[in-house]
Amino acid sequence: MADASTGVLRPRINWQSLTTLAVLGIVGFLVLLPMVFLVEESLNVGDPMAFPPVEFGIANFVSILEEDLKTVVNTLVIAVMATVMAILIGFTLAWILTRTNVPGRDKLERLMELPYYMTPLVGALAWAVIAGPKSGFINQIWKAVGGTGDIADIYTHFGIAWVMALFEGTVAFVMISASMKSMDPALEESARVMGASKLRTTLTVTLPLVMPGVLGATLFVFAEMLGSFAAALVLGIPGRIYVITTAIWDSTLAYPPDYGRASAMGLSLFVVMFGMLTFYRRVIARGSFTTISGKAFRPRPMDMGRLAWVLFSICALYVALAVVFPIAALLMTSLQRFATVILGQAQWTLANYQVALSLGPVRTALLNSIMLGLGVATVGVVIMALLVWIIYRSQMRGRGAIEYLVMFPQAVPRLVFGLALLWAWLNMPVGLYGTLWLLALAYFTVMLPLGVRTLAGVVLQIDKSLEECARVCGASWGYQMRTVTLPLLKPGILAAWLLIFMACVRELGVSAFLMGPNAKVIAPSIVNAFATSGTELTAAMALIQTFTVIVALIILFRVARGMTKELQ
Amino acid sequence: MSTTRIEVQDLVVRYGDQVAVNGVSFTVGRGEHLTLLGPSGCGKTTTLRAVAGLEHPSGGSIRIDGQTMYDSAQRKNVQTEQRGVSMVFQSYAVWPHMSVFDNVAYGLRVRKLGAAAIKENVERALDLVQMRHLAERGASKLSGGQQQRVALARAIAFSPTVVLFDEPLSNLDAKLRAEMRVELRELQRRLGITSVYVTHDQEEALAISDRVIVMNVGVIEQIGTPEEIYNKPRSRFVADFVGSANLIKGKPAGEGLFAVDGGPTLKVTAPHRPHGKESEVAVRTAYIDLEPRPGDNHVPGKVRQRLFHGDFVQYVIDSPVGALIVRRPPVNLLGEGAEVTLSFSPEHCVLLEA
């Protein structure tokens, strides 16, 4: 049966180490090289455009503390406010949705993810429409009922933090509810059996067990908020409130662009965020061991009686503030000639959509974004699936290093990575800068963690013996991949594809730096439109982008449902 | 033609610094049902997976039907799919994206059989496990027991000569497990398959095997028929792990005699040649009688505790050789505190290797 010659281990070229080296080389080139360029440029104290730099020093770093101290303070104040709000919201919602019998729990839990998919950019635009000074809807209503002056102004520290918390704080909810869900209900039940009241149980058992999760979420969210860009860009610049990300952005726009200063700020931000994330991982590794036991529990919810409807209103309020009002405001604005909330004065029109879809640059930008999404998702998923297989299923040496490299972009603020790529490709003797190809390459690089994590989740769910059994039945590696592995991976691959597609269509941080006059994409174009043309057109564009993402999202949920059915 | 199907020689498997299997050798005859028995982590599953080609050993050799499958000296390692063995996995590994029929047909399709032959073989295999009526059912909609049967049908559908079983019954509930045990033994006899079976359940191992290998920490403790393993345990580990036994401490006192520490001298048997350093004898709990019989060892005792199990009664009895556990049929029950004479034959007093 077995052909004797096929099994002989011949001395031969070691394909495995060659493959590993090649993969390491390529991923390293994409991920690490831009960072090297960034470090070099941050130390450039001579002509900021000189490449390679001729004078080195740390003046760029020193000047952050001297000239940009106000920016640093702004960043900290806004990040702290946003984190506190995000954690309060996240904790409240997580507790309501995992531990109480609030009506419509499963549906509400689904809705909680929506603000994240709306993106902070769209959220910031929407809140500019709702609570902008003078023409904002709240102020319009206030004046219509006889008030004087403005009662709402979103172009403030608090306004920026508010939008960040609403649209980027979703992760706090996800993390805290995960730690609440993974807690064995028997831990609480035994406290009750010993005679502790509900309140006492919550204070002495529930809270201490959930604390590490909350602390972890706080660190994580704070790091995210430090690197947040969109809300500060839309809401901060009109009121001249600069945070570190918008300051980086601003110094590359100056003439001549000060890449040295931008790099120094970017690198400092990266180091701080990297430190926080490392600390976060420590906290998670050390603290939450008591509650995480591998399987997810569905704790018996506490009966809240009539209070359940109060809790329901809290959830509904959140959904209203983060989804319903923003979408409604954008919708109203986009359908009018001049945005007003006083319906008697409204002049309804579809002209904004017409303009958005026919205006050359805008239409091109949208098409470019969709094309990039399709291309990067399709090619990317294939490569990422291969990477996942190498990292999690093969016995190759060096797969740990590959995993580390692949996950690295996660630790770099998107905007800083964009800056690094910009500087790297400006100075590389390849004519990629200003083309869609560079954007595609950049998207692929920053999407690596997202894609690989999604695919890995599916791969790790598939019992290894399913593959082994195929081999024992006599299937070759290729036949096994075709008949067993890939069909089982299909839903996961589809989900990863859609996630990457969505992330590409809404990408801002990297695109803002790498977009060229002949390679426009939608998110930065929306920002430009907000700065240069009317709110009405911007709202139409934002809604078109959101609509594209929502369509992808609906397909994603369908796939996810099919997948859970199939794997049970 | 030789009667040996599988021959494993000095097999060593390492995981990094850890040695999971440390020099294991055994043979499996044609049509024989051999069981590897041991606690978790003893290397039994690793040995089985090495035979299937799913683990890469670091030393020794494996031959199936005279063909070398692995040999460290020749640097030869035949790929799993070319070894021609079949396997039933602990998790069943029934592919959730295929129907029952497609699962069972897999090995036949790999071997490029015609549609008619595939249908015939699949139906025969499904008949054997009484699953034919569910052939079109999606595999993800099956119960645990049904998945077990599908996995079994799939493993035998392409008429392999060797089938490996990796704890196939451990995920079933006790009742179903007992039923499947009977069916498996029946099927194995009928098809004349050579099989290697891995389990940590000693009862299962004794019930369905022609021969049992007891393993511990990567090495073989004893090889023998179920009766030999039960009646003549070689080591303390085997006596303790297989069945239930009383261990009595003392030292050899001449040919066939054993002096219990601070107690009487017993007549014992030594399956191996004793060298004087032995310190324990094992007496199965089922072999101790409560009525004196001529020729036996006799020890007075007093019932300390009685546990009624239904199928048997377990007594703990204090005696000059220590507290002994005795299992008796549930008739003529003795009360706690009753005085008895314990009686066990020298044949059942087994001197353990030191």
pLDDT score, position A124? 92
Task: Describe the crossing of helices A207-226 and A157-168 by its angle, rounded to 10 degrees.
Answer: 120
Q: Does residue A565 have a pLDDT over 60?
A: no
Task: Describe the crossing of helices A15-31 and A33-42 by its angle, rounded to 10 degrees.
Answer: 40
pLDDT score, position A8? 45
pLDDT score, position A5? 41
pLDDT score, position A7? 44
- In CATH terms, the fold of domain A15-286+304-567 is MetI-like fold (1.10.3720)
Min Cα distance B273 → chain A (Å) is 43
Interface touch B97/A488, C-beta < 8 Å: yes
Query: In this predicted structure, which of A29-33, A491-495, A562-566 has the lowest mean pLDDT?
Result: A562-566
Q: For an interface test with B, give the residue of A394, A469, A477 to mutate (most B CBs within 10 A).
A: A469
More confident residue, B254 or B195: B195
Residues written for chain A: 568
Q: Does residue A524 have a pLDDT over 80?
A: yes
Q: Count how many Cα atoms sit within 13 Å of the Cα of residue A309 in the half-sphere of its side chain.
A: 1
Structural element, H or E, at residue B276: none
Compute how many other C-beta atoms are within 10 angstroms of the C-beta atom of residue A325. Answer: 17
- Please compute the mean of the pLDDT values over residues B242-261 and round it to a whole number: 90
Q: Does residue B62 have a pLDDT over 90?
A: yes
pLDDT, tens digit, 9 for 90 and up, residues B143-192: 888 998 999 999 999 888 899 999 988 888 888 888 888 888 888 888 88
Q: Does residue A294 have a pLDDT over 50?
A: no
Token pair of B73, please? 């000296």
More confident residue, A561 or B4: B4
Token pair of B86, please? 């079949």
Write the residue in B74, B80, B96 that is nearest to A472 by C-beta.
Answer: B80
Q: Does A8 touch chain B (CB under 8 A)?
A: yes
ipTM of the complex: 0.79
Query: In this predicted structure, which of A143-147, A300-304, A387-391 has the lowest mean pLDDT?
Result: A300-304
pLDDT score, position A10? 44
Name the band, by pLDDT with cuts 50, 70 and 90, for residue A566: low
How far is it, in rounded angstroms, from Cα A244 to Cα A490?
42
Name the band, by pLDDT with cuts 50, 70 and 90, for residue B34: very high
Name the residue type at position A36. V
Token pair of B166, please? 């990796």
Name the band, by pLDDT with cuts 50, 70 and 90, for residue A14: low
Name the band, by pLDDT with cuts 50, 70 and 90, for residue A1: very low
Q: Which residues of A touch B107 (CB under 8 A)?
A: 473-474
Percentage of residues of chain B with pLDDT beyond 90: 60
Q: Does residue A289 have a pLDDT over 60?
A: no
Name the band, by pLDDT with cuts 50, 70 and 90, for residue A149: confident
Write the residue in B77, B84, B87 that is nearest to A469 by C-beta.
Answer: B87
Q: Which residues of A touch B65 (CB under 8 A)?
A: 1
pLDDT, tens digit, 9 for 90 and up, residues A384-416: 988 888 888 777 777 788 888 888 888 888 888
Q: Which residues of A touch B53 (CB under 8 A)?
A: 471
Name the residue type at position A32. L
Any residues with CB less than 8 A from the CB of A369 and at least 6 apart, and which? A504, A505, A507, A521, A522, A523, A545
Query: What sections of B166-219 are H helices per DSSP?
Result: 174-191, 202-208
Q: Does residue A11 have a pLDDT over 60?
A: no
Q: What is the mean pLDDT of chain B?
A: 90
Q: Does residue A127 have a pLDDT over 90?
A: yes
Q: What is the mean pLDDT of chain A?
A: 82
Token pair of B344, please? 């066990």
Q: Which residues of B touch A568 (CB under 8 A)?
A: 140
- Please compute the mean of the pLDDT values over residues A481-500 and round it to a whole number: 85
pLDDT score, position B312? 92
- Please compute the mean of the pLDDT values over residues A279-286 and round it to a whole number: 72
pLDDT score, position A499? 85
pLDDT, tens digit, 9 for 90 and up, residues A51-107: 677 777 788 888 887 778 899 999 999 999 999 999 999 999 988 888 888 888 888
Closest chain B residue to A474, measured at CA:
B81
